[in-house]
Amino acid sequence: MTSTAYIVGIYEHPTRKADDKSLAQLHADVARGALADAKLGKQDIDAYYCAGDVAGWDAPGTGPFSMIDYLGLNLRHLDTTESWGSSYISHVSHAADAIAAGRCEVALVTLAGRPRAEGQATGTAERTRGFSAAEAQFELPYGPVVTNLYGLSAARHMFEFGTTSEQLAWIKVAASHHAQHNPHAMLRDVVTVADVLASPIIADPLHRLDCCVVSDGGGALIVASPAVARALGGPMIGVRGSGYSPQHTNGGWMDLTSSGAAISGPRAFAEAGVSPQDIKYASIYDSFTITVLIQLEDLGFCAKGEGGRFVEDGKLIAGVGKLPVNTDGGGLCNNHPSNRGGMTKVIEAVRQLRGEAHPKVQVGNCDLALVHGTGGALANRHGSATLILERE
């Protein structure tokens, strides 16, 4: 099947703490790296995609306009869609749509951030950012932060379905088995279920090792038209299907054990004409272990409530389980740049489809991969984006 657009360039910044680099420098670094990977020059870029790390409060100056000036890009298309950690997954599908509509030929997507250098830890940020939000007067008095929101989802899942902390720990164990082979991963030591359970409780029932790393750095993608991709002569990694769905509190009538993946996933599978059983590799957003478990259920890899059994006993480990997940170590062990993990999920999926993942974690005959991410928080409001990528 011929796709309408192809990912022809990828790059993940090797730094995990950028004390010596500005936000703009990180964006420039990853753009340069992705262009080199694609064997293109900046003069070939005619579209640019960015999110809040450029277009929102994190960016100085005039946001995306300052960035394209800094990068020296001459464009005919610009997209600053902001959906937090899922933004960069959505950007791929938006770029594919723009290419199909004739608005551009070669699109650059970048992510960069410095939360670690600026002293952030898991679940922390300046609370003043939320004071003007529509929900602020109703929610801020109760002190919600990222960690306790995900703790709520984990506790509810345990209550409804009997999921255990040991089962959640297996998700971290799988990530660590993969990260040991990644020289850039922040946490490369293999851990056991007992190690996870012995780490301090952060937000009951989540332990410290159930939580993602906080890192600086970033990444970039180049999405190109079929004609450009064929002319480059590299691996043809096509965008086969995509889906997106926001989810919110619905006035309090919400299910803490579900995510927007229950809608975005089926849409992506239908567009691609494939099913969860066809997927050889999955990049699943892993801000916390519970994030992975809920998304695997909602994407249809197992039934609701069966996630604990689906992930336990190493079933997500490459070479061991049926569905290898996050073979770079994911956000739990490798990298979670700017607290926005969608970019790195696309990058590792492309590595797998190209056959360029580390030999110890490379999935054999990997021709179909799923990428999924959430932006926001599962227990209140978020956006879910799903991509199906295929090696032609």
pLDDT at 125 over 90: no
Task: Supply the pLDDT for residue 62.
Answer: 77
Quick one: pLDDT band at residue 250, thresholds 50, 70, 90?
confident
DSSP string, 136-194: HHHHGGG---HHHHHHHHHHHHHHHH---HHHHHHHHHHHHHHHTT-TT-S--S---HH
C-alpha 281: how far from chain center = 14
CB 27 within 8 A of CB 239: no
Tokens at 42, concatenated:
């900046």
Q: Give residue 84's Cα distance to chain centre.
A: 10
Cα distances (Å, whole numbers) of residue 149 to 142, 309, 381: 11, 23, 10
C-alpha pair distances (Å), 41 with each of 199, 225, 288? 47, 16, 37
Q: What is the pLDDT of residues 169-215, one digit of tens each?
A: 999 999 999 999 999 999 999 999 999 999 999 999 999 999 999 99
Question: Do the beta carbons of residue 240 and residue 386 sit within 8 Å?
Answer: no
**Residue-level pLDDT at 41:** 97
Query: How far from each other are the two terminal CA atoms of the chain, in whole angstroms?
Result: 8
User: Distance (Å, rounded) from C-alpha 17 to C-alpha 315?
Assistant: 32
Q: 290-345, pLDDT tens digit by residue?
A: 999 999 999 999 999 999 999 999 999 999 999 999 999 999 999 999 889 999 99
Confidence at residue 56, expressed as pLDDT on a 0 to 100 scale: 52
In the predicted model, is pLDDT for residue 260 greater than 50?
yes
Contact predicate 32/72, CB 8 Å: no
Nearest alpha-carbon partner for 49 in 29, 27, 33, 32: 27
Which comes out higher in pLDDT, residue 142 or 353?
Answer: 353
Give the architecture (CATH level 2) of 6-119+212-391: 3-Layer(aba) Sandwich (3.40)
Question: For 130-161, what is each residue's pLDDT tens digit?
Answer: 567 788 888 888 888 889 999 999 999 999 99
Q: Which amino acid, residue 215?
A: S
As a whole number, the mean pLDDT across the chain is 93
82/58 Cα distance (integer angstroms): 12
How many C-beta atoms lie closer than 10 Å to residue 53's C-beta? 30
pTM for the whole structure? 0.95
pLDDT for 128 beyond 50: no
Element (H, E) at 110: strand 106-113
**Beta pairing, strands 281-284 & 237-247:** unpaired
CB 316, CB 279: distance < 8 Å: no
Spell out the alpha helix ranges (H) of the chain.
23-38, 52-55, 64-71, 87-100, 136-139, 146-161, 165-179, 193-198, 226-232, 261-272, 289-298, 307-311, 330-333, 342-354
Which of 79-83, 188-192, 224-228, 387-391 shows the lowest mean pLDDT across its residues?
79-83
pLDDT of residue 305: 98
Domain residue ranges of the chain, discontinuous segments joined by +? 6-119+212-391
Position 57 confidence tier, pLDDT thresholds 50, 70, 90: very low
